[in-house]
Amino acid sequence: MEKLMIRGGRPLRGTVQISGAKNSAVALLPASLLAESEVVLDNLPHLSDVAVYSEILQELGGQVTWKGDSMVIDPSNLRSLPMPNGKVKMLRASYYLMGALLGRFGEATIGLPGGCNFEPRPIDQHIKGFEALGAVVTNDHGSIHISAKQLRGAKIYLDVVSVGATINIMLAASRAKGSTVIENAAKEPEIIDVATLLNAMGAKIKGAGTETIRIEGVDSLSGCRHSIIPDRIQAATYMMMAAATRGDVLIDNVIPKHLEAVTAKLLEMGVHVDELDEAIRIIGQPHYEAVDVKALVYPGFATDMQSPMTSLLTQASGVSILTDHVYSNRFKHVPELMRMGAKIRVETRSAIIEGGKLVAAKVRAADLRAGASLVVAGLTVEDGVTEITGVEYIDRGYDHLVDNLRRLGADVWREH
Ligand SMILES: CC(=O)N[C@H]1[C@@H](OP(=O)(O)OP(=O)(O)OC[C@H]2O[C@@H](n3ccc(=O)[nH]c3=O)[C@H](O)[C@@H]2O)O[C@H](CO)[C@@H](O)[C@@H]1O
Ligand SMILES: C=C(OP(=O)(O)O)C(=O)O
- DSSP secondary structure letters along 18-48: --B-HHHHHHHHHHGGGBSS-EEEES----H
pLDDT of residue 146: 97
pLDDT of residue 82: 86
pLDDT of residue 120: 80
Q: Which positions make up the binding site for UDP-N-acetyl-alpha-D-glucosamine? A: 92, 121-125, 304, 326
**Ligand whose nearest atom lies closest to the CA of 187:** 1
**Residue 295 beta carbon below 6 angstroms from any ligand 2 atom:** no
Closest CA to 312 of 337, 348, 349, 275: 337
pLDDT of residue 333: 98
Helix 163-173 to helix 124-132 angle, to the nearest 10 degrees?
A: 20
Q: Which positions make up the binding site? A: 22-23, 92, 121-125, 304, 326
Q: Where does 68-190 show beta strands of DSSP type E?
A: 70-74, 107-111, 136-140, 143-147, 155-157, 179-183
Which domains, and CATH codes, for the chain?
Answer: 3-15+231-415 (3.65.10.10), 24-227 (3.65.10.10)
Q: Spell out the residues 6+ positions from residue 120 whose beta carbon is closer than 8 angstroms to its own.
A: none
The protein residue whose alpha carbon is closest to atom 37 in ligand 1 is 23
pLDDT of residue 408: 98
Task: Reduce the DSSP state of residue 15 to 3 states and report it.
Answer: strand
Report, as residue numbers or ranges, the catalytic residues. Answer: 116
**Residue 242 beta carbon below 6 angstroms from any ligand 2 atom:** no
Closest CA to 203 of 35, 322, 29, 347: 35
Residue from 28, 95, 368 to probe ligand 2 pocket by mutation (most atoms less than 8 Å from CB): 368
Q: Are 376 and 356 in contact (CB under 8 A)?
A: no
Complex prediction ipTM:
0.95
pLDDT of residue 335: 98
User: Which protein residues touch ligand 1 with a CB less than 6 Å away?
Assistant: 23, 121-126, 160-165, 186, 188, 297, 302-304, 326-327
The protein residue whose alpha carbon is closest to atom 6 in ligand 2 is 92
Strands 225-227 and 39-42, how do they pair? Answer: parallel
pLDDT of residue 38: 97
> What amino acid is encoded at 89 in this protein?
K
Residues of the chain falling short of pLDDT 70: none
Task: Reduce the DSSP state of residue 267 to 3 states and report it.
Answer: helix
CA atoms within 13 A of residue 295's CA, in its CB half-sphere: 23
